[in-house]
Structure 1
Amino acid sequence: MPELPEVETTKRGIQPNVEQQTIRDIIIRDARLRWPVDTTLPKKLPGLVISAIRRRAKYLLLETERGHLIIHLGMSGNLRVLPHDHPHVKHDHIDLVLDNGYLLRYHDPRRFGCWLWTEAAPEEHDLLKTLGPEPLTDAFNADHLLQKAQNRKVAVKTFIMTNAVVVGVGNIYANEALFLSGLHPTRPAHSLTHPEAEQLVDHIKQVLAAAIEQGGTTLKDFLSPSGQPGYFEQKLHVYGRDKQPCPTCGRPVQKTVLNQRAAYFCEHCQK
Protein backbone atom coordinates (compact mmCIF):
# COMPACT_ATOMS: atom_id res chain seq x y z
CA MET A 1 0.00 0.00 0.00
CA PRO A 2 1.37 3.46 -0.83
CA GLU A 3 2.28 5.16 2.45
CA LEU A 4 2.89 8.84 3.23
CA PRO A 5 6.24 9.17 1.39
CA GLU A 6 4.77 7.56 -1.72
CA VAL A 7 1.73 9.86 -1.61
CA GLU A 8 3.96 12.92 -1.06
CA THR A 9 6.11 11.78 -4.01
CA THR A 10 2.95 11.46 -6.11
CA LYS A 11 1.80 14.95 -5.09
CA ARG A 12 5.14 16.50 -6.05
CA GLY A 13 5.22 14.51 -9.28
CA ILE A 14 1.83 15.61 -10.58
CA GLN A 15 1.96 19.26 -9.44
CA PRO A 16 3.94 20.74 -12.36
CA ASN A 17 1.42 19.61 -15.01
CA VAL A 18 -1.81 19.58 -12.99
CA GLU A 19 -1.76 22.53 -10.58
CA GLN A 20 -3.24 25.78 -12.00
CA GLN A 21 -4.70 23.86 -14.96
CA THR A 22 -8.32 23.92 -16.17
CA ILE A 23 -10.30 20.69 -16.18
CA ARG A 24 -11.68 19.90 -19.63
CA ASP A 25 -13.39 16.62 -18.75
CA ILE A 26 -13.37 13.63 -16.44
CA ILE A 27 -13.68 10.16 -17.93
CA ILE A 28 -14.93 7.50 -15.49
CA ARG A 29 -14.46 4.03 -16.94
CA ASP A 30 -15.24 2.19 -13.72
CA ALA A 31 -16.95 3.95 -10.79
CA ARG A 32 -16.70 0.90 -8.54
CA LEU A 33 -13.91 2.00 -6.23
CA ARG A 34 -13.95 1.64 -2.43
CA TRP A 35 -16.86 4.09 -2.50
CA PRO A 36 -18.75 4.67 -5.77
CA VAL A 37 -17.41 7.59 -7.80
CA ASP A 38 -19.95 10.39 -8.29
CA THR A 39 -21.10 9.83 -11.88
CA THR A 40 -22.28 13.48 -12.12
CA LEU A 41 -18.65 14.71 -11.99
CA PRO A 42 -18.49 15.05 -15.82
CA LYS A 43 -21.14 17.78 -15.42
CA LYS A 44 -19.60 19.42 -12.32
CA LEU A 45 -15.88 19.61 -13.07
CA PRO A 46 -15.33 20.94 -16.64
CA GLY A 47 -14.17 24.55 -16.57
CA LEU A 48 -12.88 24.44 -12.99
CA VAL A 49 -9.24 25.34 -12.30
CA ILE A 50 -7.17 23.11 -9.99
CA SER A 51 -5.80 25.93 -7.85
CA ALA A 52 -3.75 23.78 -5.47
CA ILE A 53 -2.81 20.19 -4.70
CA ARG A 54 -2.32 19.33 -1.05
CA ARG A 55 -1.70 16.15 0.92
CA ARG A 56 -3.43 15.32 4.20
CA ALA A 57 -2.19 12.02 5.64
CA LYS A 58 -2.42 9.62 2.67
CA TYR A 59 -5.12 11.64 0.89
CA LEU A 60 -4.50 14.02 -2.00
CA LEU A 61 -6.73 17.09 -2.11
CA LEU A 62 -7.25 18.76 -5.50
CA GLU A 63 -8.69 22.20 -4.77
CA THR A 64 -11.03 24.14 -7.05
CA GLU A 65 -13.21 27.21 -6.42
CA ARG A 66 -16.30 25.01 -6.00
CA GLY A 67 -14.94 22.08 -4.03
CA HIS A 68 -12.26 19.45 -3.61
CA LEU A 69 -11.48 16.08 -5.10
CA ILE A 70 -10.30 13.76 -2.32
CA ILE A 71 -8.14 10.99 -3.76
CA HIS A 72 -6.73 7.94 -1.98
CA LEU A 73 -4.51 5.43 -3.80
CA GLY A 74 -5.83 2.44 -1.85
CA MET A 75 -3.79 -0.76 -1.88
CA SER A 76 -2.48 -0.64 -5.43
CA GLY A 77 -3.40 2.66 -7.06
CA ASN A 78 -1.18 5.17 -8.81
CA LEU A 79 -1.54 8.46 -10.66
CA ARG A 80 0.26 9.25 -13.90
CA VAL A 81 0.40 12.43 -15.97
CA LEU A 82 0.09 11.45 -19.63
CA PRO A 83 -0.66 13.06 -23.02
CA HIS A 84 -4.35 13.25 -24.01
CA ASP A 85 -3.93 10.60 -26.70
CA HIS A 86 -2.13 8.05 -24.51
CA PRO A 87 -4.06 4.75 -24.86
CA HIS A 88 -5.68 3.39 -21.72
CA VAL A 89 -5.18 -0.17 -20.49
CA LYS A 90 -6.98 -2.49 -18.10
CA HIS A 91 -7.50 -0.97 -14.62
CA ASP A 92 -7.15 2.63 -15.90
CA HIS A 93 -10.38 3.67 -14.19
CA ILE A 94 -10.38 7.49 -14.30
CA ASP A 95 -8.89 10.22 -16.52
CA LEU A 96 -8.96 13.85 -15.42
CA VAL A 97 -8.50 15.61 -18.77
CA LEU A 98 -6.80 19.02 -18.63
CA ASP A 99 -6.64 21.94 -21.07
CA ASN A 100 -2.84 21.82 -21.35
CA GLY A 101 -2.74 18.62 -23.41
CA TYR A 102 -2.26 16.29 -20.45
CA LEU A 103 -4.49 14.08 -18.37
CA LEU A 104 -4.20 12.71 -14.86
CA ARG A 105 -4.83 8.96 -15.04
CA TYR A 106 -5.81 6.79 -12.08
CA HIS A 107 -4.82 3.11 -12.31
CA ASP A 108 -5.94 0.72 -9.57
CA PRO A 109 -6.08 -3.07 -10.09
CA ARG A 110 -7.72 -3.75 -6.71
CA ARG A 111 -10.11 -0.76 -6.89
CA PHE A 112 -9.65 -0.05 -3.16
CA GLY A 113 -8.81 3.62 -3.58
CA CYS A 114 -11.26 6.50 -3.78
CA TRP A 115 -12.17 9.62 -5.76
CA LEU A 116 -14.62 11.66 -3.69
CA TRP A 117 -16.02 15.14 -4.31
CA THR A 118 -16.89 17.54 -1.51
CA GLU A 119 -18.08 21.13 -1.65
CA ALA A 120 -17.52 21.57 2.10
CA ALA A 121 -14.17 22.18 3.80
CA PRO A 122 -12.23 18.94 3.25
CA GLU A 123 -10.93 19.01 6.84
CA GLU A 124 -14.54 18.47 7.98
CA HIS A 125 -15.02 15.38 5.81
CA ASP A 126 -15.63 12.18 7.79
CA LEU A 127 -12.40 10.68 6.42
CA LEU A 128 -10.23 13.59 7.57
CA LYS A 129 -11.73 15.27 10.62
CA THR A 130 -10.38 12.83 13.24
CA LEU A 131 -6.83 12.63 11.89
CA GLY A 132 -3.85 13.42 14.09
CA PRO A 133 -1.05 15.86 13.23
CA GLU A 134 1.20 15.57 10.21
CA PRO A 135 4.44 13.85 11.28
CA LEU A 136 6.79 16.37 9.66
CA THR A 137 5.25 19.39 11.40
CA ASP A 138 6.01 20.95 14.79
CA ALA A 139 2.58 19.80 16.02
CA PHE A 140 3.99 16.28 16.19
CA ASN A 141 6.38 16.31 19.15
CA ALA A 142 7.28 14.34 22.27
CA ASP A 143 4.75 16.12 24.47
CA HIS A 144 1.94 15.28 22.04
CA LEU A 145 3.08 11.65 21.81
CA LEU A 146 3.26 11.21 25.58
CA GLN A 147 -0.12 12.86 26.10
CA LYS A 148 -1.71 10.41 23.66
CA ALA A 149 0.21 7.49 25.24
CA GLN A 150 -1.14 8.02 28.76
CA ASN A 151 -2.65 4.77 30.10
CA ARG A 152 -2.28 3.15 26.67
CA LYS A 153 -1.15 -0.47 27.04
CA VAL A 154 -1.18 -1.09 23.29
CA ALA A 155 2.16 -2.01 21.66
CA VAL A 156 4.14 1.09 20.71
CA LYS A 157 4.34 -0.01 17.06
CA THR A 158 0.56 -0.24 16.82
CA PHE A 159 0.27 3.05 18.72
CA ILE A 160 2.39 5.11 16.30
CA MET A 161 0.52 3.61 13.35
CA THR A 162 -2.79 4.97 14.72
CA ASN A 163 -4.00 7.89 12.60
CA ALA A 164 -5.58 9.64 15.57
CA VAL A 165 -2.09 9.81 17.16
CA VAL A 166 -0.11 10.82 14.08
CA VAL A 167 -0.87 10.33 10.40
CA GLY A 168 1.16 8.53 7.80
CA VAL A 169 3.43 6.30 9.89
CA GLY A 170 2.80 3.11 7.92
CA ASN A 171 4.18 -0.31 8.65
CA ILE A 172 7.49 0.04 6.84
CA TYR A 173 8.39 3.33 8.49
CA ALA A 174 7.15 2.33 11.96
CA ASN A 175 9.51 -0.66 11.92
CA GLU A 176 12.43 1.46 10.79
CA ALA A 177 11.85 4.30 13.28
CA LEU A 178 11.54 1.89 16.21
CA PHE A 179 14.79 0.18 15.24
CA LEU A 180 16.67 3.47 15.01
CA SER A 181 15.21 4.48 18.40
CA GLY A 182 16.20 1.19 20.06
CA LEU A 183 12.58 0.52 21.06
CA HIS A 184 11.07 -2.95 20.95
CA PRO A 185 7.82 -2.90 18.92
CA THR A 186 5.88 -4.72 21.67
CA ARG A 187 6.70 -2.14 24.37
CA PRO A 188 3.51 -0.72 25.91
CA ALA A 189 2.98 2.82 24.67
CA HIS A 190 2.50 4.17 28.21
CA SER A 191 5.99 2.98 29.20
CA LEU A 192 7.74 5.55 26.99
CA THR A 193 9.88 8.08 28.84
CA HIS A 194 10.18 11.65 27.63
CA PRO A 195 13.71 11.11 26.22
CA GLU A 196 12.49 7.96 24.43
CA ALA A 197 9.50 9.84 23.01
CA GLU A 198 11.79 12.63 21.79
CA GLN A 199 14.05 10.10 20.10
CA LEU A 200 11.12 8.26 18.52
CA VAL A 201 9.58 11.48 17.17
CA ASP A 202 12.96 12.51 15.73
CA HIS A 203 13.45 9.14 14.05
CA ILE A 204 9.92 9.05 12.61
CA LYS A 205 10.60 12.45 11.04
CA GLN A 206 14.05 11.33 9.87
CA VAL A 207 12.81 8.09 8.26
CA LEU A 208 9.86 9.72 6.52
CA ALA A 209 11.95 12.64 5.23
CA ALA A 210 14.60 10.24 3.90
CA ALA A 211 11.96 8.11 2.19
CA ILE A 212 10.43 11.17 0.52
CA GLU A 213 13.89 12.22 -0.66
CA GLN A 214 14.34 8.77 -2.23
CA GLY A 215 10.92 8.84 -3.89
CA GLY A 216 9.23 6.33 -1.58
CA THR A 217 9.56 2.59 -1.22
CA THR A 218 8.74 0.16 -4.01
CA LEU A 219 7.94 -3.26 -2.54
CA LYS A 220 5.12 -4.49 -4.80
CA ASP A 221 2.96 -1.97 -6.61
CA PHE A 222 4.14 1.58 -6.06
CA LEU A 223 5.31 3.68 -8.99
CA SER A 224 5.73 7.43 -8.98
CA PRO A 225 3.88 9.57 -11.55
CA SER A 226 6.94 9.37 -13.79
CA GLY A 227 6.70 5.58 -13.76
CA GLN A 228 9.91 5.28 -11.75
CA PRO A 229 10.14 3.12 -8.61
CA GLY A 230 11.04 4.46 -5.18
CA TYR A 231 14.50 3.59 -3.95
CA PHE A 232 14.15 3.75 -0.15
CA GLU A 233 13.92 -0.06 -0.06
CA GLN A 234 17.69 -0.11 -0.53
CA LYS A 235 18.10 1.75 2.78
CA LEU A 236 15.85 -0.40 5.01
CA HIS A 237 17.51 -1.61 8.20
CA VAL A 238 15.07 -4.29 9.42
CA TYR A 239 11.84 -4.27 7.40
CA GLY A 240 11.61 -7.44 5.30
CA ARG A 241 14.97 -8.69 6.64
CA ASP A 242 13.75 -11.64 8.72
CA LYS A 243 16.69 -13.86 9.76
CA GLN A 244 19.20 -11.53 8.09
CA PRO A 245 21.98 -9.93 10.20
CA CYS A 246 21.10 -6.84 12.20
CA PRO A 247 23.10 -3.96 10.69
CA THR A 248 24.19 -2.91 14.20
CA CYS A 249 25.05 -6.10 16.11
CA GLY A 250 24.97 -8.85 13.47
CA ARG A 251 22.39 -11.00 15.26
CA PRO A 252 19.44 -12.26 13.18
CA VAL A 253 16.54 -9.87 12.69
CA GLN A 254 13.33 -11.38 14.03
CA LYS A 255 9.75 -11.15 12.85
CA THR A 256 6.44 -11.29 14.67
CA VAL A 257 2.89 -10.15 13.96
CA LEU A 258 1.24 -7.26 15.82
CA ASN A 259 -2.32 -6.26 15.04
CA GLN A 260 -2.13 -8.32 11.83
CA ARG A 261 0.96 -6.42 10.60
CA ALA A 262 4.53 -7.73 10.39
CA ALA A 263 6.95 -6.39 12.97
CA TYR A 264 10.70 -6.71 12.33
CA PHE A 265 13.17 -6.06 15.13
CA CYS A 266 16.47 -6.95 16.76
CA GLU A 267 15.96 -8.52 20.19
CA HIS A 268 19.43 -7.37 21.26
CA CYS A 269 19.30 -3.74 20.09
CA GLN A 270 15.66 -2.90 20.83
CA LYS A 271 14.39 -2.83 24.41
Structure 2
Amino acid sequence: MPELPEVEVTRRSFALAIEGARVLAVRLGKPLRWPLGVSPESLVGRRVGAAQRRGKYLWLPLEARPAVVSAQATPAADADVAALADDAGGLLLHLGMSGSLAFRELPPVAGPHDHFDLVTDRGVLRLTDPRRFGAVLWSPGLEADPAAKLLSRIGLEPFDIEFHGDHLHERFRGRRVPVKQAILAGDVVVGAGNIYACEALFMSGIDPRLAAGKISRPRAARLAGALRQVLGEALEAGGTTLRDFKDAHGVAGSFQMQARVYGREGEACRHCGTPIRRIVQGQRSTFFCPSCQKR
Protein backbone atom coordinates (compact mmCIF):
# COMPACT_ATOMS: atom_id res chain seq x y z
CA MET A 1 0.00 0.00 0.00
CA PRO A 2 1.36 3.47 -0.83
CA GLU A 3 2.22 5.19 2.45
CA LEU A 4 3.05 8.80 3.29
CA PRO A 5 6.41 8.90 1.46
CA GLU A 6 4.98 7.35 -1.70
CA VAL A 7 1.95 9.66 -1.68
CA GLU A 8 4.13 12.73 -1.09
CA VAL A 9 6.57 11.67 -3.81
CA THR A 10 3.61 11.26 -6.15
CA ARG A 11 2.28 14.73 -5.27
CA ARG A 12 5.64 16.37 -5.87
CA SER A 13 6.01 14.63 -9.23
CA PHE A 14 2.94 16.28 -10.80
CA ALA A 15 1.92 19.24 -8.61
CA LEU A 16 3.86 21.99 -10.38
CA ALA A 17 3.01 20.67 -13.85
CA ILE A 18 -0.75 20.63 -13.28
CA GLU A 19 -1.17 23.80 -11.18
CA GLY A 20 -3.06 26.41 -13.17
CA ALA A 21 -4.23 23.93 -15.82
CA ARG A 22 -7.82 24.08 -17.07
CA VAL A 23 -9.95 20.94 -16.96
CA LEU A 24 -11.08 19.94 -20.45
CA ALA A 25 -12.79 16.62 -19.69
CA VAL A 26 -13.20 13.93 -17.04
CA ARG A 27 -13.33 10.22 -17.86
CA LEU A 28 -14.60 7.62 -15.40
CA GLY A 29 -13.84 3.90 -15.64
CA LYS A 30 -15.11 1.16 -13.35
CA PRO A 31 -16.49 2.28 -9.95
CA LEU A 32 -13.95 2.94 -7.22
CA ARG A 33 -14.44 2.78 -3.45
CA TRP A 34 -16.75 5.82 -3.42
CA PRO A 35 -18.60 7.62 -6.25
CA LEU A 36 -17.24 10.90 -7.58
CA GLY A 37 -20.21 12.74 -6.07
CA VAL A 38 -20.89 15.10 -9.00
CA SER A 39 -21.27 14.69 -12.73
CA PRO A 40 -17.95 14.76 -14.62
CA GLU A 41 -19.28 17.62 -16.80
CA SER A 42 -19.58 19.90 -13.77
CA LEU A 43 -15.76 19.89 -13.38
CA VAL A 44 -15.02 20.96 -16.94
CA GLY A 45 -13.72 24.53 -17.28
CA ARG A 46 -12.32 24.76 -13.75
CA ARG A 47 -8.69 25.60 -13.07
CA VAL A 48 -6.51 23.35 -10.92
CA GLY A 49 -4.93 24.84 -7.81
CA ALA A 50 -1.91 23.73 -5.76
CA ALA A 51 -2.01 20.00 -4.97
CA GLN A 52 -1.76 19.24 -1.25
CA ARG A 53 -1.40 16.13 0.90
CA ARG A 54 -2.97 15.19 4.22
CA GLY A 55 -1.83 11.80 5.45
CA LYS A 56 -2.29 9.39 2.55
CA TYR A 57 -4.90 11.59 0.85
CA LEU A 58 -4.19 14.05 -1.94
CA TRP A 59 -6.26 17.20 -2.33
CA LEU A 60 -6.56 18.78 -5.75
CA PRO A 61 -8.40 22.12 -5.43
CA LEU A 62 -10.53 23.23 -8.38
CA GLU A 63 -11.50 26.86 -8.73
CA ALA A 64 -15.05 27.99 -9.45
CA ARG A 65 -15.88 28.64 -13.08
CA PRO A 66 -18.29 30.90 -14.96
CA ALA A 67 -21.83 29.50 -15.09
CA VAL A 68 -21.77 28.50 -18.76
CA VAL A 69 -23.75 25.40 -19.70
CA SER A 70 -22.42 23.27 -22.55
CA ALA A 71 -24.74 22.64 -25.47
CA GLN A 72 -23.90 18.93 -25.21
CA ALA A 73 -24.63 18.67 -21.48
CA THR A 74 -27.50 16.53 -20.23
CA PRO A 75 -30.29 18.01 -18.07
CA ALA A 76 -28.73 16.39 -15.01
CA ALA A 77 -25.35 17.89 -15.86
CA ASP A 78 -27.01 21.30 -16.39
CA ALA A 79 -28.36 21.12 -12.85
CA ASP A 80 -24.93 20.23 -11.48
CA VAL A 81 -23.31 23.11 -13.34
CA ALA A 82 -25.90 25.57 -12.06
CA ALA A 83 -25.36 24.36 -8.50
CA LEU A 84 -21.57 24.26 -8.61
CA ALA A 85 -20.50 26.93 -11.08
CA ASP A 86 -20.00 29.61 -8.44
CA ASP A 87 -18.51 27.26 -5.83
CA ALA A 88 -14.89 26.26 -5.48
CA GLY A 89 -14.03 22.85 -4.14
CA GLY A 90 -11.73 20.04 -5.08
CA LEU A 91 -11.02 16.38 -5.56
CA LEU A 92 -9.88 14.18 -2.68
CA LEU A 93 -7.83 11.26 -3.99
CA HIS A 94 -6.68 8.08 -2.28
CA LEU A 95 -4.47 5.44 -3.89
CA GLY A 96 -5.96 2.55 -1.95
CA MET A 97 -3.93 -0.68 -1.79
CA SER A 98 -2.33 -0.66 -5.23
CA GLY A 99 -3.27 2.59 -6.96
CA SER A 100 -0.92 5.01 -8.70
CA LEU A 101 -1.19 8.35 -10.46
CA ALA A 102 0.46 9.24 -13.74
CA PHE A 103 0.61 12.63 -15.40
CA ARG A 104 1.37 12.60 -19.11
CA GLU A 105 0.82 14.93 -22.04
CA LEU A 106 -0.38 12.10 -24.28
CA PRO A 107 -1.20 8.96 -22.26
CA PRO A 108 -1.97 5.65 -23.95
CA VAL A 109 -5.55 4.54 -24.46
CA ALA A 110 -7.11 3.76 -21.08
CA GLY A 111 -6.81 0.12 -20.07
CA PRO A 112 -9.04 -2.05 -17.86
CA HIS A 113 -7.36 -0.81 -14.65
CA ASP A 114 -7.43 2.91 -15.54
CA HIS A 115 -10.46 4.26 -13.69
CA PHE A 116 -10.15 8.05 -13.70
CA ASP A 117 -8.71 10.61 -16.12
CA LEU A 118 -8.59 14.33 -15.40
CA VAL A 119 -7.91 15.76 -18.85
CA THR A 120 -6.39 19.25 -18.76
CA ASP A 121 -4.80 21.61 -21.24
CA ARG A 122 -1.40 20.59 -19.85
CA GLY A 123 -1.80 16.83 -19.73
CA VAL A 124 -3.83 13.98 -18.27
CA LEU A 125 -3.78 12.94 -14.62
CA ARG A 126 -4.72 9.25 -14.58
CA LEU A 127 -5.52 6.98 -11.64
CA THR A 128 -4.65 3.33 -12.24
CA ASP A 129 -5.84 0.87 -9.60
CA PRO A 130 -6.04 -2.89 -10.29
CA ARG A 131 -7.84 -3.61 -7.02
CA ARG A 132 -10.14 -0.55 -7.11
CA PHE A 133 -9.72 0.30 -3.41
CA GLY A 134 -8.68 3.83 -4.36
CA ALA A 135 -11.00 6.81 -4.57
CA VAL A 136 -11.61 10.16 -6.25
CA LEU A 137 -14.43 12.22 -4.78
CA TRP A 138 -15.62 15.80 -4.89
CA SER A 139 -15.74 17.89 -1.72
CA PRO A 140 -16.63 21.58 -1.28
CA GLY A 141 -13.46 21.94 0.81
CA LEU A 142 -11.15 20.25 3.28
CA GLU A 143 -13.24 21.57 6.16
CA ALA A 144 -16.51 20.33 4.62
CA ASP A 145 -17.85 16.80 4.21
CA PRO A 146 -16.98 14.36 2.81
CA ALA A 147 -13.33 15.46 3.09
CA ALA A 148 -13.66 16.69 6.69
CA LYS A 149 -15.21 13.41 7.83
CA LEU A 150 -12.51 11.27 6.23
CA LEU A 151 -9.61 13.42 7.39
CA SER A 152 -10.90 13.69 10.97
CA ARG A 153 -9.98 10.05 11.55
CA ILE A 154 -6.25 10.43 11.01
CA GLY A 155 -3.50 11.48 13.38
CA LEU A 156 -0.75 14.09 13.28
CA GLU A 157 1.67 14.41 10.40
CA PRO A 158 5.09 13.02 11.43
CA PHE A 159 6.76 16.29 10.38
CA ASP A 160 4.24 18.45 12.25
CA ILE A 161 5.82 20.60 14.97
CA GLU A 162 3.28 19.16 17.44
CA PHE A 163 4.41 15.59 16.77
CA HIS A 164 6.97 14.63 19.41
CA GLY A 165 7.62 12.13 22.17
CA ASP A 166 5.15 13.64 24.60
CA HIS A 167 2.39 13.31 22.01
CA LEU A 168 3.18 9.63 21.45
CA HIS A 169 3.47 8.93 25.17
CA GLU A 170 0.14 10.58 25.93
CA ARG A 171 -1.78 8.98 23.05
CA PHE A 172 -0.33 5.52 23.70
CA ARG A 173 -1.23 5.62 27.39
CA GLY A 174 -3.43 2.69 28.39
CA ARG A 175 -3.19 0.91 25.03
CA ARG A 176 -2.58 -2.80 25.31
CA VAL A 177 -2.02 -3.48 21.63
CA PRO A 178 1.57 -3.99 20.43
CA VAL A 179 3.30 -0.73 19.68
CA LYS A 180 3.73 -1.56 16.00
CA GLN A 181 -0.01 -2.02 15.56
CA ALA A 182 -0.64 1.22 17.45
CA ILE A 183 1.58 3.03 14.93
CA LEU A 184 -0.18 1.41 11.97
CA ALA A 185 -3.62 2.39 13.28
CA GLY A 186 -2.95 5.91 11.96
CA ASP A 187 -4.92 7.79 14.62
CA VAL A 188 -1.80 8.88 16.54
CA VAL A 189 0.60 9.48 13.67
CA VAL A 190 -0.37 9.14 10.02
CA GLY A 191 1.47 7.56 7.12
CA ALA A 192 3.97 5.31 8.91
CA GLY A 193 3.06 2.04 7.23
CA ASN A 194 4.38 -1.45 7.82
CA ILE A 195 7.86 -0.97 6.38
CA TYR A 196 8.48 2.35 8.10
CA ALA A 197 7.09 1.19 11.45
CA CYS A 198 9.50 -1.77 11.42
CA GLU A 199 12.42 0.49 10.57
CA ALA A 200 11.56 3.15 13.18
CA LEU A 201 11.13 0.59 15.95
CA PHE A 202 14.53 -0.87 15.11
CA MET A 203 16.16 2.56 15.09
CA SER A 204 14.64 3.37 18.49
CA GLY A 205 15.51 -0.06 20.00
CA ILE A 206 11.90 -1.01 20.80
CA ASP A 207 10.54 -4.55 20.45
CA PRO A 208 7.49 -4.40 18.16
CA ARG A 209 5.59 -6.75 20.52
CA LEU A 210 5.77 -4.37 23.48
CA ALA A 211 2.39 -2.95 24.52
CA ALA A 212 2.07 0.65 23.37
CA GLY A 213 0.96 1.75 26.83
CA LYS A 214 4.25 0.55 28.33
CA ILE A 215 6.41 2.86 26.22
CA SER A 216 8.24 5.23 28.56
CA ARG A 217 8.50 8.92 27.84
CA PRO A 218 12.22 8.73 26.82
CA ARG A 219 11.54 5.79 24.53
CA ALA A 220 8.56 7.61 23.03
CA ALA A 221 10.85 10.54 22.24
CA ARG A 222 13.32 8.21 20.50
CA LEU A 223 10.49 6.61 18.55
CA ALA A 224 9.10 9.96 17.39
CA GLY A 225 12.55 10.99 16.19
CA ALA A 226 13.07 7.65 14.45
CA LEU A 227 9.73 7.92 12.64
CA ARG A 228 10.63 11.36 11.33
CA GLN A 229 14.08 10.15 10.30
CA VAL A 230 12.98 7.03 8.45
CA LEU A 231 10.13 8.79 6.66
CA GLY A 232 12.52 11.56 5.67
CA GLU A 233 14.96 9.00 4.29
CA ALA A 234 12.15 7.36 2.34
CA LEU A 235 11.17 10.71 0.80
CA GLU A 236 14.76 11.29 -0.27
CA ALA A 237 14.83 7.81 -1.86
CA GLY A 238 11.63 8.42 -3.82
CA GLY A 239 9.61 6.04 -1.64
CA THR A 240 9.63 2.25 -1.55
CA THR A 241 8.97 0.04 -4.56
CA LEU A 242 8.42 -3.58 -3.60
CA ARG A 243 6.07 -4.40 -6.48
CA ASP A 244 4.70 -1.67 -8.66
CA PHE A 245 4.91 1.77 -7.00
CA LYS A 246 6.05 4.55 -9.34
CA ASP A 247 5.62 8.30 -9.20
CA ALA A 248 3.57 10.29 -11.72
CA HIS A 249 6.44 10.12 -14.23
CA GLY A 250 6.97 6.36 -13.89
CA VAL A 251 10.04 6.53 -11.62
CA ALA A 252 10.34 3.79 -8.97
CA GLY A 253 11.47 4.36 -5.39
CA SER A 254 14.63 2.87 -3.87
CA PHE A 255 14.20 2.97 -0.08
CA GLN A 256 13.88 -0.84 0.00
CA MET A 257 17.58 -1.03 -0.89
CA GLN A 258 18.57 0.68 2.37
CA ALA A 259 16.13 -0.96 4.80
CA ARG A 260 17.80 -2.00 8.03
CA VAL A 261 15.45 -4.84 9.00
CA TYR A 262 12.46 -4.99 6.65
CA GLY A 263 12.65 -7.95 4.27
CA ARG A 264 15.92 -9.19 5.80
CA GLU A 265 14.74 -12.29 7.69
CA GLY A 266 17.70 -14.51 8.62
CA GLU A 267 20.29 -11.93 7.58
CA ALA A 268 22.71 -10.52 10.11
CA CYS A 269 21.71 -7.35 11.94
CA ARG A 270 23.99 -4.59 10.67
CA HIS A 271 24.48 -3.39 14.23
CA CYS A 272 25.06 -6.56 16.30
CA GLY A 273 25.15 -9.47 13.85
CA THR A 274 22.13 -11.29 15.31
CA PRO A 275 19.87 -12.83 12.63
CA ILE A 276 16.85 -10.68 11.84
CA ARG A 277 13.56 -12.31 12.84
CA ARG A 278 10.19 -12.21 11.13
CA ILE A 279 6.84 -12.60 12.90
CA VAL A 280 3.26 -11.88 11.87
CA GLN A 281 1.28 -9.14 13.62
CA GLY A 282 -2.20 -8.24 12.48
CA GLN A 283 -1.71 -10.29 9.29
CA ARG A 284 1.39 -8.28 8.39
CA SER A 285 5.05 -9.27 8.49
CA THR A 286 7.14 -7.67 11.20
CA PHE A 287 10.93 -7.71 10.97
CA PHE A 288 13.12 -6.94 13.99
CA CYS A 289 16.39 -7.68 15.72
CA PRO A 290 15.77 -9.71 18.92
CA SER A 291 19.02 -8.42 20.40
CA CYS A 292 18.89 -4.70 19.61
CA GLN A 293 15.17 -4.24 20.26
CA LYS A 294 14.08 -4.61 23.88
CA ARG A 295 10.68 -5.02 25.54
Equivalent residue for 2:101, pick from 74, 79, 83 = 79
Match of 1:63 in 2: 61
For the 8 Å contact 2:107–2:124, the answer to whether it is kept is: no
Match of 1:6 in 2: 6
Q: Let me know the Cα RMSD of the aligned residues.
A: 1.4
Residue in 2 aligned with 1:27? 27
- The one of 110, 119, 122 aligned to 1:88: 110
The one-letter amino acid of 1:208's match is L
The residue aligned with 2:287 is: 264
1:48 is aligned to 46
Q: CA deviation at 1:90?
A: 2.9
Q: Which ranges in structure 2 are unaligned for 5 or more consecutive residues?
A: 64-87
Cα shift at 1:122:
4.5
- State how far apart, in whole Å, the 2-side matches of 1:246 and 1:235 are: 13
The whole-number CA distance in structure 1 between the counterparts of 2:233 and 2:223 is 15
Deviations 1:158-198 (A, max 9, x none): 11122111110100000000001110001111211221111
Tell me the residue number matched to 1:114.
Answer: 135
Q: Distance in 2 between matches of 1:130 and 1:29?
A: 28
CA contact (8 A) 2:16 2:50 kept: no
* Native 8 Å contact 1:223 1:229 kept in 2: yes
Contact 2:104 / 2:249 at 8 angstroms: preserved in 1? Answer: no
1:157-172 superposed matches below 5 A: 157-172=180-195
1:64-89 Cα offsets, whole Å, 9 max, x none, are 23212010011111111112463323
Contact 1:255 / 1:264 at 8 angstroms: preserved in 2? yes
The one-letter code of the counterpart of 2:14 is I
Do the aligned residues in 2 keep the contact of 1:256 with 1:264 (CA within 8 Å)? yes
Q: How big is the shift at 1:132? A: 1.1
For residues 132 and 190 of structure 1, the distance between their equivalents in structure 2, rounded to whole angstroms, comes to 17
> 2:234 aligns to what?
211
Structure 1 residues 29 and 52: alpha-carbon distance in aligned structure 2, compared to 1, 3 A threshold: same
- Quick one: which of 136, 157, 166 aligns to 1:143? 166
Structure 2 counterpart of 1:99, one-letter code: D
How far apart in 2 are the matches of 1:62 and 1:37?
13
Identity score, percent: 44
TM value normalised by structure 1 = 0.95
Matched residues in 2 for 1:243 and 1:131: separation?
35
Distance 2:227 2:105 in 1: 37
Aligned AA for 2:33? R
Match of 1:246 in 2: 269
Contact map agreement 1:33 1:114 (CA 8 A) in 2: yes
Tell me how far 1:63 sits from its aligned partner: 0.9
How many angstroms does 1:52 deviate by?
A: 1.5
User: Does the CA-based 8 Å contact 1:61-1:71 persist in structure 2?
Assistant: yes
Cα pair distance change 1:223/1:123, threshold 3 Å: farther
Distance 1:43 1:227, change over 3 A: same
- Separation (CA, whole Å) in 2 of partners of 1:184 and 1:214: 26
Figure out how many residues of one structure are paired with residues of the other and give that number. 268
* Structure 1 Cα separation of the partners of residues 197 and 49 of structure 2: 33
Point out the structure with max Rg over C-alpha: 2
| Counterpart amino acid of residue 62 in structure 2 | T
1:97 equivalent among 83, 107, 119: 119
Q: Tell me, which stretches of 5 or more residues in structure 1 are unaligned? A: none
What is the CA–CA distance in structure 1 between the aligned matches of 2:291 and 2:43, rounded to whole Å?
56
Distance of 2:143 and 2:135 partners within structure 1:
14
